[in-house]
Chains A and B, each alone.
Chain A
């Protein structure tokens, strides 16, 4: 018996999954915003002038100098490395704690109040505590990064874990899976969307925090360069370093968006409404015999 089906091909799905990131980069509205920003900046530098609002050309020149010099790239690289290590470790520990809390009610009862308490402490307090506790600058930065970003990973993972439908777990359990298979096929994909959200939120938070931590005692890194520029009243350097970091953050955000779009491609905009049962004639059950 023949049948009619409407297939949404894999190519169509893949295209749907890739579209958002590409569109975001090529979005003409972004170009309009950049032009408007530059225009306001130009006017401000002409009206206010001096070292308060440097010219676009002086900042561009400084930016190029920083981005093309070994020392500049080294400072930027070290800051990004600190962000990466801090976020990476916070991600691993925070995710593990979130999964543990999600899997065990008693663990959640002990862990979550602590994590929420840590989250409630102002970031600046952690910086001051780090300065008093640790003489090593790297340790200070790492400590601050970890304490500030860990709660986000833990709580987001915990919430995502709790949001996994019990029906899916029951379905999986009905096949008697191993614990590892259950974790890999149900838990991990279930918390993944939440992890992307946590990464995006914590990336911005981490970059802001690493700068504050670097202002206190670091001799290399964007934070220390900003401190030097502030002491020299070099506004062009301040703006160029800030812009450089902001650009890096945007690139990293785009990378995360890209990975997210790929990993969560199943969320792609539905194609033309799925074929109704009417379009699928009754199957040929003679083929099913035997």
Chain B
């Protein structure tokens, strides 16, 4: 099934005095788990906000599940959920209530809130912590609650904005594995924005490399089974793609980078 879930058609986005996205053109299909990497300021967050519909593109079109996320903002209720870099839990709500709040915002039947929240907290290892307030939880536990909040809505698309980057490596590794398992087992599509190449390689079916000002520098499709040497080669390739362009690259980023797309085998 190759149904497009996110389509950027030659999208540009400018802010006063600053072009965040120059020419972004890609398609993510349903069921794909895609990592987006790039250095700070390359336009990852702008791409994220365009996907969420928080901004409208300056030129070009953005389609998520065939709809305009900006003008049809409410259509995406229950269809899209986000896990942010920090857990963004409401300090006045318990873990259970924080999970319920996503369902409340999404307009899910009230009778489903508690069983779903309890179930997702248990799945993410927080059984017994339902009544804890955020300040009583560790950073990893807070992020688990935010994952539970996103998954409890049962969205078709999950967006992660550097969701594991603020955690220690062991916690991040565990949560990444849990996240991948939950996305796969739920048949969902996922986009994970990260600046961590190892994370990008371990998460997805595909790694999109972005470079400033907001264009795709490389698009690598991954299939399981790579050895260490292959991963190192891939890491080097991503690093090269993330580097600023040379003078000869300027002016034709999309064309220059499109040719680099290829299928890569990974672990």
Contact = CB atoms under 8 A, between A and B. Distances in A.
A13 B125 contact: no
Nearest to B175: A277
Contacts of A283: 123-125, 178
B185 A288 contact: yes
Contacts of A268: 133
A290 B52 contact: no
Interface string B117-134: 000001111111101110
A171 B128 CA distance: 25
B132 A285 contact: no
Contacts of A8: 131-132, 136
A277 B174 contact: yes
A116 interface: no
B258 interface: no
B185 A290 contact: yes
Nearest to A264: B92
In this complex, the interface size class of chain A, counting residues with CB under 8 Å from chain B, is 35 or more
A217 interface: no
In which size bucket is the chain B interface? 35 or more
B132 A277 contact: no
A175 B131 contact: no
Nearest to A171: B88
Given A170-B54, A274-B137, A276-B138, A185 B129 contact: no
B86 A176 contact: no
A266 B133 contact: yes
Interface string B83-98: 0101010111110000
A176 B174 CA distance: 29
A163 B138 CA distance: 24
A275 interface: yes
A189 B54 contact: no
A70 interface: no
A9 interface: yes
Contacts of B77: 175-176
Interface string A147-190: 00000000000000000000110111111111001100110010
B227 to A, nearest CB: 25
A288 B123 contact: yes
A185 B80 contact: no
Give the residue among A264, A282, A287 with the most B Cβ atoms within 10 A.
A282
A175 B127 CA distance: 24
B92 A189 contact: yes
B141 A270 contact: no
Contacts of A5: 125-129
Contacts of B178: 282-283, 285, 288
Nearest to B79: A176
Given A175-B81, A280-B141, A282-B174, A167 B86 contact: yes
B84 A171 contact: yes
A61 interface: no
Contacts of A271: 136
B243 interface: no
A181 to B, nearest CB: 6
A3 B125 contact: yes
A174 B52 contact: yes
B88 A287 contact: no
Contact of A174 (B82, B129, B177): B82
A25 to B, nearest CB: 26
A10 interface: yes
B260 interface: no
Contacts of B15: none
A132 interface: no
Contacts of A173: 54
Nearest to A174: B82
B136 A274 contact: yes
A270 B129 CA distance: 14
A23 interface: no
Contacts of A7: 128-129, 131-132
B105 A270 contact: no
Contacts of A29: none
24 contacts: A5-B129, A7-B131, A10-B131, A13-B131, A168-B88, A172-B101, A174-B81, A175-B77, A176-B105, A177-B104, A178-B107, A182-B105, A266-B92, A267-B91, A275-B138, A278-B170, A280-B140, A280-B141, A281-B125, A283-B125, A288-B123, A288-B178, A288-B185, A289-B185
Interface of B: 52, 54, 73-74, 76-77, 80-82, 84, 86, 88, 90-94, 101-102, 104-107, 122-129, 131-133, 135-138, 140-141, 153, 168, 170-171, 174, 177-178, 181-182, 185
Interface of A: 3, 5, 7-10, 13, 167-168, 170-178, 181-182, 185-186, 189, 192, 264, 266-268, 270-271, 274-278, 280-285, 287-290
